[in-house]
Amino acid sequence: MTVAALPGALRAEYPLLQTCTYLNSNSTGALPRAVEGVLAQYWNTMRAWRDDTWDTWLSQMQAYADGVADLIGAPAGSVALDTNLSAHLSRLASCLDFSGERRRVVITDLEFPTVPFIWKGFARYGAELVVVPSKDGRVDEAALEAAIDKRTLLVCVAHGAFATGAVLDLARIAKAAHAAGALIATDAYQTVGTVPIDVRALDVDFLMGGAHKWLGGSEAAFLYMRPGLLPTLRPAVTGWLAGASPLGFQQTTDYAPDARRMMGGTPAPLMVLLSRPGLDLIKGVGIHAVREHSLKLTDRLMARADAAGLRVVTPREPHQRGGVVAMSFPGDVQVTQRLVARGFICSHRGFLRAAPHFYNTPEEVDAFMDALIEEQHNPSA
């Protein structure tokens, strides 16, 4: 699909769009209507249950993992699935050895709360957390580079900041991490599905994300691992499906050779099945067309905010931002609540966040900003 044609007929695929002005895809993406058929199929499976369904489900899960791998420029077999990013990060952390000199984990103060919480938990196993302060809602990349040294085991930073939408120069930080002999993991939950990502170009070792935001799916999350590192990953947080031949139901003696070694116990296949239509729609449109459309809409949001004298917290340069525009002004919490009550769906995380996707129109952006300005001038706001 060409950018000029977006969103066009695509809007009919997302029933949620008929109920409101939905600019909230960084929080929870709209689900496509094909999901209804997946639910019906699931019930058909359950009401005639046979154990061999697991063969089908596991191969469908593998196909989804490989579909995500393809979207981020990774080879098949390099992406594992679990229910959330926290599970992936905990499992990854459990592969690391914090007993030596090199035991530091470098993060920033812009991470989603799950990230510092997990690393604080791993302090009991010797992990030493270094938190690099941000500047004006953005990662201070020079300060981050300066914090990485021979004591750094892992740099664990968000690609897109959840509160401000600021995007990090990951390739630069990956270079600094590798130069110091450290590994780099990134939380790309806020960018996968709206910003094109190529793990080879970024040269990251691990990339995590999930389906229920920009990828228009349900609660399923993924972890990419650089294929060359796979044999070194021996998680303590694990489960029988990480074994080399789980369906043999023998005692597990070794990990699977591919990304499946980072699975746990019985997964939730329904969430993956529900996530498939959203992934297919994004890939059908093409991530570069998605991005071009997104930039058009976020440019428009920022221009309208500027004209209204509202502070835009998100950086201006396209390469420094994802799909979110964060705004800050007195009463922004109340304005968010009023907008939602009026059917203009956005969210508040320190700032008012508006997040248009490939299914939104410029007219929706204008209607949203008209309503926002009205509410901002509402004396009871």
Indicate which single residue of 3, 58, 75, 86 sits in contact with ligand PLP (rule: CB under 6 A).
86
- Select the span of 126-134, 184-192, 226-234, 310-318 touching ligand PLP (CB under 6 A): 184-192
CB of 66 to ligand PLP, least distance (A): 20
- Select the span of 143-151, 183-191, 233-241, 313-321 touching ligand PLP (CB under 6 A): 183-191
Indicate which single residue of 72, 85, 139, 355 sits in contact with ligand PLP (rule: CB under 6 A).
85
CB of 158 to ligand PLP, least distance (A): 5
Q: How far apart (Å, rounded) are the C-alpha atoms in residues 145 and 147?
A: 5
Give the residue among 297, 284, 377 at the shortest CA–CA distance from 26: 297
> Are β-strands 152-158 and 128-132 bridged in parallel, bridged antiparallel, or unpaired?
unpaired
187 part of the interface to ligand PLP, by CB under 6 A: yes
CA angle 328, 330, 331 (to 5 degrees): 100
- Residues with Cβ < 8 Å from 7, sequence gap 6 or more? 293, 358, 359, 360, 361
Give 90 or 238: the residue with its C-beta nearer to ligand PLP. 90
3-class DSSP assignment, residue 214: coil
84 part of the interface to ligand PLP, by CB under 6 A: yes
Give 84 or 252: the residue with its C-beta nearer to ligand PLP. 84
Give the residue among 347, 290, 342, 292 at the shortest CA–CA distance from 324: 347
166 — phi, psi (to 5°)? -65, 140
Q: How far apart (Å, rounded) are the C-alpha atoms in residues 145 and 141?
A: 6
The tokens describing 251, both together, are: 């005692």
55 — phi, psi (to 5°)? -60, -45
Cβ proximity of 2 and 10 under 8 Å: no
CB of 191 to ligand PLP, least distance (A): 9
CB of 331 to ligand PLP, least distance (A): 24
Indicate which single residue of 7, 210, 246, 278 sits in contact with ligand PLP (rule: CB under 6 A).
210
Q: How far apart (Å, rounded) are the C-alpha atoms in residues 112 and 100?
A: 27
Look at the block and give the residue holding tokens 């746990």: 264
45 part of the interface to ligand PLP, by CB under 6 A: no
Q: How far apart (Å, rounded) are the C-alpha atoms in residues 371 and 335?
A: 9
Give 127 or 220: the residue with its C-beta nearer to ligand PLP. 220
For the segment 139-158, give every residue that binds ligand PLP (CB under 6 A).
Answer: 158
Give 42 or 112: the residue with its C-beta nearer to ligand PLP. 112
137 part of the interface to ligand PLP, by CB under 6 A: no
221 part of the interface to ligand PLP, by CB under 6 A: yes
82 part of the interface to ligand PLP, by CB under 6 A: no
112 part of the interface to ligand PLP, by CB under 6 A: yes
Question: What is the amino acid identity at position 135?
Answer: K
375 part of the interface to ligand PLP, by CB under 6 A: no
3-class DSSP assignment, residue 14: coil
Centre a 10 Å sphere on the Cβ of residue 195 and count the other Cβ atoms it contains. 22
28 part of the interface to ligand PLP, by CB under 6 A: no
Indicate which single residue of 122, 189, 222, 255 sits in contact with ligand PLP (rule: CB under 6 A).
189
Residue count, binding to ligand PLP (CB under 6 A): 12
CB of 37 to ligand PLP, least distance (A): 26
Q: How far apart (Å, rounded) are the C-alpha atoms in residues 138 and 161?
A: 8
Indicate which single residue of 21, 164, 190, 298 sits in contact with ligand PLP (rule: CB under 6 A).
190
3-class DSSP assignment, residue 289: helix
CB of 192 to ligand PLP, least distance (A): 10
Give 6 or 206: the residue with its C-beta nearer to ligand PLP. 206
Give 187 or 364: the residue with its C-beta nearer to ligand PLP. 187
Look at the block and give the residue holding tokens 């895809």: 25
CA 163 to chain centre: 13
CB of 360 to ligand PLP, least distance (A): 19
Q: How far apart (Å, rounded) are the C-alpha atoms in residues 236 and 265?
A: 13
For ligand PLP, the binding residues (CB under 6 A) are 84-86, 112, 114, 158, 162, 187, 189-190, 210, 221
